[in-house]
Amino acid sequence: MSLRSPLGRVRGLGSAKEGVGHWWAQRLTALSLVPLTLWFCASVAGLAGADYASFRAWVGAPVNAGLLILLIVAVFYHAMLGVQVVAEDYIHGEGRKLAVLLITKALAIVLGLAALLSVLTILFRG
């Protein structure tokens, strides 16, 4: 008989990992992306053919910049979690899986940062 508690025995084994956190993050980003995506699509459709000055004026309006920042963070977090699930399901070699997961995370961070810095540049430089 072990003196360890049931929680102590399962911690770090099997399903006692971070699956619930991943699941929740994917659902909460999905939920926040519903209004953000609809706002973004309506805005971009209205901006069709916009010239440089009017596009920068739109991005540089504080409310638009704020919503864009929320959208960018939610999109790249959601995409990263989604690609991770697909990679874990279909890539079977541990080395290749790890490589794809690391590249996915790195790309999500770099692309998200590039988009965020662009919005901030336009917001603060006008």
Q: For residues 91 and 97, what is the distance between their CA atoms, to the nearest angstrom?
A: 6
119 near another protein, rule: CB under 8 A: yes
DSSP string, 6-39: HHHHHTTSTT-SSHHHHHHHHHHHHHHHHHHHHH
Q: For residues 110 and 105, what is the distance between their CA atoms, to the nearest angstrom?
A: 9
Q: For residues 40 and 33, what is the distance between their CA atoms, to the nearest angstrom?
A: 10
Binding window for another protein (CB under 8 A); candidates: 7-15, 52-60, 92-100: 52-60
106 near another protein, rule: CB under 8 A: no
44 near another protein, rule: CB under 8 A: yes
Give the nearest distance from C-beta 11 to another protein in angstroms.
26
Comparing CB distances to another protein, the nearer of 86 and 102 is 86
Binding window for another protein (CB under 8 A); candidates: 8-16, 92-100, 115-123: 115-123
One of 99, 103, 106, 117 touching another protein (CB under 8 A): 117
Residues forming contacts to another protein in the complex (CB under 8 A) are 27, 30-31, 33-34, 37-38, 41-42, 44-50, 52, 55-56, 59, 68, 75-76, 79, 82-83, 86, 111, 114-115, 117-119, 121-122
